[in-house]
Amino acid sequence: MNRKITAAVAFDTPERRVRIDASAQKLGFEVHWVENGKVTAEDVQDCEIFFGMLPPELLRQAKSLKWLQCSFAGVDCYADQAQYAENIAITNASGAYGITISEHMVVTLLMLMRRMPEYHEMQKKREWYCVGQIKSVMNSVITVVGVGDIGSNFAKRVLPMGAFVRGVRRTEGPKPDFVDEIYTVDRLDEAITGADVVALCLPGTGETRRLFDHERMLKMKPGAILMNVGRGNAVDLLALDELLRSGHLGGAAIDVTEPEPLPPEHPLWTAPHALITPHISGNTSLPLTCDIIVDIFLDNLERYSKGQALQHLVNLKMGY
């Protein structure tokens, strides 16, 4: 009898199903496909492997589960269920989202620098004039806070455009080629000083919560742009709104908020130079992203079947 894999992903096209089914069967597994968002306790009771985002409340009921391959990079949704995952290997899809999120970041940064939201409003009013000075990535100082898959991909895109790139990471180590300077998080204030752009690419952990509060954002260069594509809890949104309205910050590109969705009555919606997107920078709208996630799963499935170490293992206590 084949060992059971339960799969529930939003991108299970017929072609991807055929590919996954064939690889699984070759390794002695059978895939039980479930519609994404409709996984029940019955679906996970006897599965050895789960591919997708298992509803956190079902983790304790997955008695036979040995390995959870998440289809997202972020796994903070399982933090409260860590006690039920002590004997479960959890891997994420880190490496799949760097391309799509970094491209989103470049687009939104250029939109703010070149004042495109203002021109879009002019178009709706059929107005025709120049709004004034714009900015360039060339010669800008860009601080990337979090230089994992997403942050490194963004740095690799703006560095050739002429930016001076500072990277911030948790631990000491050699300077990567894709940044001009590297800092540890204990030197964060130094890293953001004088930066024209501060881009947050952080996981959602207790350590990153409100990392950018009013006090820290006030230390940013007047007119600087703040970007957040990591987790919404890293930024105090009311403080951000205040600093945008006062003119201290020149713009903000926000793809993640706390809470989500951002409430309709939240003042940030109408803040000047705020570009808000509904957590779509890294979803599965780009087929390439989905194909990479499948690649990650199938590579790990082969490793799992051979008793080899899995790639992209996460630590729920650390949050990534």
Q: pLDDT tens-digit profile of 86-144?
A: 899 999 999 999 999 999 999 999 999 999 999 999 999 999 999 999 999 999 999 99
In terms of CATH, what superfamily is 98-276?
Answer: NAD(P)-binding Rossmann-like Domain (3.40.50.720)
Q: What is the pLDDT of residue 273?
A: 98
With CA atoms as reference, report the closest residue to 109 among 146, 138, 74. 138
Region 175-199 average pLDDT: 99
Q: Do 3-96+286-305 and 98-276 show the same overall fold?
A: yes
Rounded to an integer, what distance in angstroms lies between the CA atom of residue 97 and that of residue 289? 6
Q: What is the pLDDT of residue 200?
A: 99
Query: What would the pLDDT profile of 249-305 be if each residue is shown by its tens digit?
Result: 999 999 999 999 999 999 999 999 999 999 999 999 999 999 999 999 999 999 999
Query: What would the pLDDT profile of 29-61 be if each residue is shown by its tens digit?
Result: 999 999 999 999 999 999 999 999 999 999 999
What's the fold here for domain 3-96+286-305? Rossmann fold (3.40.50)
Q: What is the pLDDT of residue 197?
A: 99
Token digits of residue 107: 């687009």
Give residue limits of the domains in the chain.
Answer: 3-96+286-305, 98-276
Q: What is the pLDDT of residue 62?
A: 95
Give me the percent of the chain exceeding a pLDDT of 90.
Answer: 94
Q: What is the pLDDT of residue 1?
A: 67
In this model, does residue 205 exceed pLDDT 90?
A: no
Query: What mean pLDDT, rounded, does the chain reach?
Result: 97
DSSP 118: H
Q: Which long-range contacts (CB under 8 A, 24 or more apart) does 268-271 make?
A: 268/237, 268/238, 268/240, 268/241, 268/244, 271/240, 271/241, 271/244, 271/245
Query: What would the pLDDT profile of 206-255 be if each residue is shown by its tens digit?
Result: 899 999 999 999 999 999 999 999 999 999 999 999 999 999 999 999 99
In this model, does residue 19 exceed pLDDT 70?
A: yes
Looking at 11-20, 179-188, 204-213, 311-320, which range is the least confident one? 311-320
Strand residues in 29-98 grouped as ranges (E): 29-33, 49-52, 67-69, 89-91
